[in-house]
Amino acid sequence: MQRLRFGIIGSGKISQYSAQSIVNHPRAELTAAQDINRKRAEQLASAFEIPHCFTEASELFACDEVDAVYIAVPNKYHAELSIAAMRAGKHVLLDKPFAMNAQEAEEVLRVSEETGQLFALGMNQRFNENSQKIKAVVQSGAFGEIYYAKAYWMRREGIPRLGTWFGSKALAGAGSIYDIGVHLLDLSLYLMDNFEPVSVFGSTYTKFGNRGLGESDWGLSDKTDSIFDVDDLAAAMIKLKNGATVCLETSWASHIPENERLNVELFGTDLGASVYPAKLYKRDPLDADYRTIENIAAKPGLPHCDRFHNFINHLFEDEPLIVSGEQALAVQRILDAIAESCRSGKSIDL
């Protein structure tokens, strides 16, 4: 195989960005696009000169000119389509979240092992240049013990178009926690190199979308007039095996002073950091002044800072896969525990 031929399942807005990343790689090309809305698939195919266009995922899976698929569809279909693709002999890069629950996620990993097809979850915040720089500093040991992380992605009015699948629990599973919260939960654990949760306490709220408030213009999904019954704000405390804690806050809609508030903050015994933008905080041992280091000299571990390039390079060059299946499963189990904690009002032991 000289070039990796990609098919895209789901031709929504995120797929436009993803298509560009794929064609930017010298050893990859786009050969097929699919969407149940043929017009969306044709628009993507036209924009990137993709030769094959389908309305059924099964048609794309049967295409001999596709080696790998990128899947970006409503969360309900993540596991089902990933499994079907791998059984059809295709490698899979899946957009977040992993699945509707951990049982589905476990089945995806089992089929990957059974078929020998590569499966990866595209957690794109790990590949951000800021994230990669902070990760390099963490790996140097400069933080000492990282005992706490605070992660937040809060929007004032950022609900993806009301009346689409994003607001339907049956199709999405959850709201802001699955859409943007999962990114920073995953990033926190990745930077801490700690995927061993032992307990989770979480709360979710639906206060804006159910009143027709907080809408943004994100997405190309068709409106279905579905009831908004997912969270538009969620918060959780995650205790890890070594005693460290992650505090997570996320919202699609909330009364905050900024349009958006986004960061991961790390607290170590020797060093502190924020990710967006990448900064380090430490006391200077020579003059006892407290310093903020903004121009971090550390180089990103992955120069390309791109999830698709990592996936492709892993297949061609054995570049280490940044998101492992076990890590993705650990994040899904935490998401499940947040939902269970909200239902029961109690902390959930894992």
Write out the chain in H/E/C secondary structure: CCCEEEEEECCCHHHHHHHHHHHHCCCEEEEEEECCCHHHHHHHHHHHCCCEEECCHHHHHCCCCCCEEEECCCHHHHHHHHHHHHHCCCEEEECCCCCCCHHHHHHHHHHHHHHCCCEEECCHHHHCHHHHHHHHHHHCCCCCCEEEEEEEEEECECECCCCCHHHCHHHHCCCHHHHHHHHHHHHHHHHHCCCCEEEEEEEEECCCHHHCCCECCCCCCCCCCCCCCCCCEEEEEEEECCCCEEEEEEECECCCCCCEEEEEEEEECCCEEECCCCEEEEECCCCCCEEEECCCCCCCCCCCCCHHHHHHHHHHHCCCCCCCHHHHHHHHHHHHHHHHHHHHCCCEEC
41 and 10 Cβ atoms separated by less than 8 Å: no
Q: In this predicted structure, what is the pLDDT of residue 171?
A: 96
**Distance of alpha carbon 271 from alpha carbon 282, whole angstroms:** 5
Q: What is the mean pLDDT of residues 218-243?
A: 90
User: For 264-270, what is the mean pLDDT?
Assistant: 97
The more confidently predicted of residues 298 and 5 is: 5
Band of pLDDT at residue 73, cut at 50, 70 and 90:
very high
Q: Cβ(161)–Cβ(219) under 8 Å? A: yes
Q: Mutual orientation of helices 102-115 and 325-344 as an angle, nearest 10°? A: 160
Sequence-separated (6 or more) residues with CB below 8 Å from residue 83: 107, 108, 111
Residue 185 and residue 246 in contact, taking contact as beta carbons nearer than 8 Å: yes
Q: How many CB atoms lie within 10 A of CB 281?
A: 16
Residue 99 — very low, low, confident or very high, per pLDDT cuts 50/70/90? very high
pLDDT confidence bin for 163, thresholds 50/70/90: very high
Please answer whether residues 19 and 8 qualify as being in contact, where contact means their C-beta atoms are separated by less than 8 angstroms. Answer: yes
Angle between helices 182-192 and 325-344 (to 10 degrees): 120
Please name the amino acid found at residue 140: S
Taking the C-alpha atoms of 177, 254, 262 and 191 in order, what is their torsion angle to the nearest 10 degrees? -30
| CA–CA distance, 9 with 344 (Å, rounded to integer) | 36
Lowest-pLDDT choice from 56-60, 287-291, 340-344 = 287-291
The answer to whether 199 and 164 have CB atoms below 8 angstroms apart is: no
Angle at 291 between CA 289 and CA 294, to 5 degrees: 165
Spatial distance between the Cα atoms of 300 and 337, rounded to a whole number of angstroms: 32
Would you list the domain boundaries of the chain? 4-121, 125-304
What was the pLDDT predicted at 284? 77
Is the pLDDT at 198 greater than 90? The verdict is yes
Torsion of CA 341, 276, 131, 19, to 10 degrees: 90
The tokens describing 75, both together, are 């969360």
pLDDT higher than 90, residue 218: no
pLDDT at 60 over 80: yes
First to last CA, the chain: 42
Q: What is the mean pLDDT of residues 266-270?
A: 97
Distance (Å, whole) CA 197 – CA 200: 8
What local confidence, expressed as pLDDT, does residue 2 receive? Answer: 87
Give me the mean pLDDT over the 334-347 stretch.
97
Q: Which strand ranges, in their side-by-side order, compose the sheet holding 233-240?
A: 290-293, 279-283, 272-274, 260-268, 146-155, 245-251, 233-240, 197-205, 348-349
> Could you give phi then psi for residue 131, rounded to 5 degrees?
-60, -45
Q: Which fold has domain 125-304?
A: Dihydrodipicolinate Reductase; domain 2 (3.30.360)
Confidence of residue 225 (pLDDT cuts 50, 70, 90): confident
Topology annotation, domain 4-121: Rossmann fold (3.40.50)
CATH topology of 4-121 equal to that of 125-304?
Answer: no
